[in-house]
Amino acid sequence: MASNCSDIVVVGSCMIDFVSYAPRLPLAGETIHGKEFATNFGGKGANQCVAAAKLGGNTALVAKVGNDVWGPKYIENLAQSNVGTKHVKLTDNISTGIAQIIVSDSGENQIVIVAGANTKLGIQDVDDAQETISGSAVLVLQLETSQEVAIRAIQLCRGISILNAAPAVSEYDPQLLRLPTIFCVNEPEASIFTGLSVNNKSEAEKAALELLKKGCNSVLITLGAQGALYINNTDKQFHYAPSPTVRCVDSTGAGDAFIGALAYLLATRTDLAVPKAVELACIAAADSVTRRGTQISFSGPSVFCESK
């Protein structure tokens, strides 16, 4: 079990993933035959926390699950993954969050989530975890829980804060951009937050500069198989991190593997500059897509051995 003092704290979501594997993704209105079905533990918050824990990070999660058949099982799964569960609460009269996922043979996916108990995570829950949050070296948040929860948690943070602003929202409190140390999005999410087309590196650079103008301290845009770009508001220099070439089996959770690894590296490897940490996080993300599933696809610290 993780100790009460956690280097990495994640405030976020828990989901049960119902995953169907099919030759391809269905078109709108189309029914196709799948080949296989699996039920996994997921949710961006929990995924990122487990990813950091598997790498050796001392982690804790602030979250809510339903007091249903899945809630206690989820808390047990977190404990077995060495994630601190003191602030993961069972919630009556609502289901644990669920995600319906379709994965094609090429590794692409479609995901629909029903947030369930995640919608009940509120500011009071964050305040109840104030000591844990303020004592962390790195705080990680997403938008599968409310904007208000993310903002309050960042306000309590004394260390590095990473907002993985996913799912993206077109209407948002400007504090979501101004408060985090690192604002991280993928290309479609960057497009929603900026109103710009983001389909390649050049367009991603323009979006990153626009996000800096909107008040971000630093911007990290993940580019899938092309890696990631990072820029901060101090030197305004673009730093590109490549992604290793791998055979993609299932891309579900790759972004969470990336964020979890980045949080772990920033918390434990203070000798690393952020661009180097981003580069290593890309390695962890690429490694995760070579296996099926989300949390079950994340590796331990040996994933970084080839980069030494």
| Strand 15-21 versus strand 228-232 pairing type | unpaired
**Integer Cα distance of 263 and 8 in angstroms:** 7
Task: Give the Å distances, CA to CA, from 101 to 25, 36, 47, 113.
Answer: 10, 12, 15, 9
- 44 annotated to bind ligand: yes
- 47 annotated to bind ligand: yes
- 302 annotated to bind ligand: no
- 125 annotated to bind ligand: no
- 173 annotated to bind ligand: no
- 212 annotated to bind ligand: no
- 256 annotated to bind ligand: yes
| Strand 8-11 versus strand 59-66 pairing type | parallel
- 233 annotated to bind ligand: no
- 224 annotated to bind ligand: yes
User: Active-site residue 256, yes or no?
Assistant: yes
Closest CA to 281 of 272, 291, 271: 272
Closest CA to 94 of 126, 62, 61, 119: 119
- 78 annotated to bind ligand: no
Angle at 145 between CA 112 and CA 123, to 5 degrees: 160
Task: Give the Å distances, CA to CA, from 165 to 18, 80, 148.
Answer: 23, 28, 13
Three-state helix/strand/coil letters over 154-171? HHHCCCEEEEECCCCCCC
* Residue 131 CA to its chain's centroid (Å): 22
- 288 annotated to bind ligand: yes
- 45 annotated to bind ligand: yes
**Integer Cα distance of 84 and 255 in angstroms:** 22
**Integer Cα distance of 204 and 299 in angstroms:** 29
- 250 annotated to bind ligand: yes
Closest CA to 214 of 263, 165, 144: 165
- 96 annotated to bind ligand: no
Q: Which two tokens stand for residue 298?
A: 């994340």
- 116 annotated to bind ligand: no
- 270 annotated to bind ligand: no
| Encoded amino acid at 9, one letter | V
- Active-site residue among 7, 68, 125, 256? 256
Based on the number of CB atoms within 10 Å of its own CB, is 295 exposed (0-12), middle (13-18) or buried (19 or more)?
Answer: buried
Binding residues for ATP: 186, 222-227, 255-256
Binding residues for substrate: 15-17, 43-47, 144, 256
Binding residues: 15-17, 43-47, 144, 186, 222-227, 250, 252, 255-256, 288, 291, 293, 297
Active site residues: 256
Binding residues for K(+): 250, 252, 288, 291, 293, 297
